């Protein structure tokens, strides 16, 4: 209800309020991140490693889709390795987050999807790479269904693991009990 006239808030007013809150939250996150790290961009090596892994996965997927008899085994191996590596990163992220959760309020959305815990440059990079991995995996599986290319759908666990690892290490979360 609108306090001034006791009538319901319009959709435009509600939207403006949500946008103002989002900008305020983003500004607070950016300020907290700058306070902690200054003007540096920590975790660039993680982002680079994820980008290289995404490139390798994409090349393997294209090769396997074009020449499945010769390259499906390579794609299968890459997909399984990326799944295993992503699983390890996932566990590492969870362990680091568990340590930090003693003093900070860490949620799963903030940890693995970087919601409200990472600056926009990191979110765009890591979530973009995760999205690329998902698209490549689904496209390869759709091109050659019921073949080893279906195992590629496991590979994006690597991108998710990188998101969690980066955020567990560098993400900014509120103090425990402040929410």
Q: With bands split at pLDDT 50, 70 and 90, how would you rate the model's confidence at 31?
A: confident
Q: What is the pLDDT of residues 81-99, one digit of tens each?
A: 999 999 999 999 999 999 9
The structure tokens listed for 128 are 């973009």
Report yes or no: 7 and 1 within 8 Å, Cβ to Cβ: yes
175: DSSP letter: B
pTM score, whole prediction: 0.83
Neighbours of 160 (CB within 10 A): 21
Alpha carbon distance 98, 178 (integer Å) = 18
Would you say residue 102 has pLDDT above 70? yes
């Amino acid at each position: 209800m609108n306090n001034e006239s006791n009538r319901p808030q319009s959709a435009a007013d509600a939207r403006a309020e949500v946008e103002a809150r989002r900008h305020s939250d983003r500004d607070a996150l950016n300020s907290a991140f700058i306070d902690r790290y200054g003007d540096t961009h920590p975790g660039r090596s993680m982002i680079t490693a994820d980008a290289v892994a995404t490139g390798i996965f994409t090349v393997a997927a294209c090769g396997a889709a074009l020449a499945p008899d010769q390259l499906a085994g390579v794609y299968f191996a890459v997909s399984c390795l990326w799944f295993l590596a992503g699983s390890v990163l996932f566990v590492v992220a969870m362990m680091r987050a568990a340590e930090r959760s003693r003093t900070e309020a860490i949620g799963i959305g903030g940890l693995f999807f970087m919601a409200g815990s990472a600056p926009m440059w990191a979110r765009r990079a890591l979530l973009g790479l995760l999205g690329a991995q998902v698209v490549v995996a689904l496209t390869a599986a759709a091109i050659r269904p019921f073949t080893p290319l279906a195992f590629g759908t496991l590979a994006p666990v690597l991108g998710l693991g990188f998101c969690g690892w980066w955020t567990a290490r560098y993400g900014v979360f509120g103090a425990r009990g402040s929410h």
